Amino acid sequence: MKKLFLILTLAAAFDGANAATFTTAGNGTEWSFKLLSQTEGSGVTAGNNEGEYVLDGTVVIAADDSFVLDDGITVLMAQGAELDLLGAARLTPANGARFTRAADGVVPRYVFCQSQRGDIVVRNVTFEYVGLKQYSDYLLSVDQCTFRYHEASMTNGSAALNIGGTGSVFVVSSLFEYNKRSAIGGAANNSCNVTIEGCKFYYNDQANLNYPQINLTAAEQVVIRRNEVIGDRSKTMGGGIAVSNLLGVAPDANTLIEFNRVVDNRYGIAIYSKQTAQVMHNVLINNNTETNPNNGGSGINVYDPQAAQYTTISGNRIEGHLWGVTVIGGKQVNLGRTDVDVTHRDYNPGMNVFVNNGNGGVLYDLYNNGTSTVYAQGNYWYGTEPTEAGIDEVIFHQADNPSLGEVIFLPAAGIATTGSSFDLNRDGAVNVGDVSTLYNRLTE
């Protein structure tokens, strides 16, 4: 019985569910974990190893105080533990730092940035089982950080990096791997400007639920550029990239998704509801883990039954999906418009390359499941005949169902085959060549 009592006591030491909240005095002090561990009642104590600190409860750094993250430390966070930053903060340890859970089965909350004193930069920090969240009118820069094993719950949010608070601004360049749900995401009623560039997303949505690895609400400016988004093929539900405006919280939303490599997810890229979106120069391969073609499996999905979305799709490689591009609604969906002068606002060289997209023994490079006319000129279609009849075989539109809109696909750039390779220039031109050139550029 004595041994059992000791085990239960140890577990209770890491259970912050009933721990108190410690708020700093707001007298201009610069706090750190070392100083907190020396302060009675803070809920922070030194760990068993050098450079370790245990956070049991909630620590709030007041708006008139500041916080600096100690270099080289590990912070063990107990059940429900939280670090709440209202003041100025520097989380840029030269030799790194790590937040992790205090024991197996423990679910901490997050590091919560609510700065009222300026931008916050987080650099060289590893978050394991612990989320990072911001609600602030300032910028949060997340650079060279690692997020892994985030549990996702009512306690610590649905994403490892939780985008929150309309008015917040995020700039992200980090590694996200093996998180239970989305790597980056937030609530549908929060609209935040976001730039995600040069990130690695590996095997997120380990819970195998309907969450994309990047799950954003549309905003005045969303940029997703030069990232690698690789799915776990044993998980059939996790998508690649999704930007949505389902609640209409961003009336003037602009989305740019370019030069990304998206492979082995349930779908590649999904654009939902009212926004102006550009999807350009991406490599989308085998995003087909969806087992029911009626539920997903598109390389690019435009979903806009309210017909309020303007979408330009140009210079992408779309290969090995259940559907190449699917369109439901859309005010104007432009996969290529070459019958107008290059100075015309609707001009688009097309230059999308479709290879082996289909299901049930039928090829579907483009499926127009709406009533709007879709321009798709200047593209490379999968097949053997560079004729109108040959290309029409891989496009589903008004010719197949009179209730649907027409797809105008001539003139075409040519026919793609399984062995096709190419390089995409930043001006949208396609050069036949070694596809590794593009892959290397995306992952530099």
Q: What is the model's pLDDT at position 386? A: 83
Burial grade of 431 (CB within 10 A; 0-12, 13-18, 19 or more): exposed
Residues 6+ apart with CB under 8 A from 403: 371
CB atoms within 10 A of CB 18: 9
CB atoms within 10 A of CB 234: 10
Q: What is the model's pLDDT at position 156? A: 83
Task: Please name the residue that has the structure tokens 């989320």.
Answer: 131
List the single range of 103-112, 157-166, 306-315, 336-345 with lowest mean pLDDT: 157-166
Residues 6+ apart with CB under 8 A from 35: 29
Task: Please name the residue that has the structure tokens 């259970």.
Answer: 15
| pLDDT per residue as tens digits for the range 387-424 | 999 999 999 999 999 999 999 999 999 998 765 544 44
Query: Please, are residues 325 and 318 in contact by the beta-carbon 8 Å criterion?
Result: yes
Burial grade of 171 (CB within 10 A; 0-12, 13-18, 19 or more): middle
| pLDDT per residue as tens digits for the range 332-384 | 999 999 999 999 999 999 999 999 999 999 999 999 999 999 999 999 999 87
Pairing of the two strands 159-163 and 131-134: parallel
| Whether residue 428 has pLDDT greater than 50 | no
Mean pLDDT of the chain: 90
| pLDDT per residue as tens digits for the range 19-42 | 689 999 999 999 999 999 999 999
Q: How far apart are CA 201 and CA 174, in angstroms?
A: 9
Q: Determine what percent of the chain is predicted with pLDDT higher than 70.
A: 89
Q: What is the DSSP string of 39-77?
A: STTSSEEE-SSTTEEEE-SEEEE-TTSEEEPPTT-EEEE
Q: What is the model's pLDDT at position 267? A: 98
Task: Please name the residue that has the structure tokens 């939780």.
Answer: 162
Q: What is the DSSP string of 111-172?
A: EEE--SSS-EEEESEEEES-EEEE-SSSEEEEEEEEEE----BTTTBSEEEEE-STT-EEEE
Q: How far apart are CA 248 and CA 188, in angstroms?
A: 9
Whether the CA torsion 431, 433, 439, 441 is positive or negative: it is: negative
Q: At 437, is the pLDDT very low, low, confident or very high (cuts 50, 70, 90)? A: very low
Q: What is the model's pLDDT at position 376? A: 98
Q: What is the model's pLDDT at position 420? A: 54
Q: Which of 356, 215, 333, 350 is nearest to 284 (CA)?
A: 356
Q: How far apart are CA 394 and CA 379, in angstroms?
A: 12
| Whether residue 438 has pLDDT greater than 80 | no
Whether the CA torsion 381, 386, 391, 393 is positive or negative: it is: negative
Burial grade of 21 (CB within 10 A; 0-12, 13-18, 19 or more): exposed
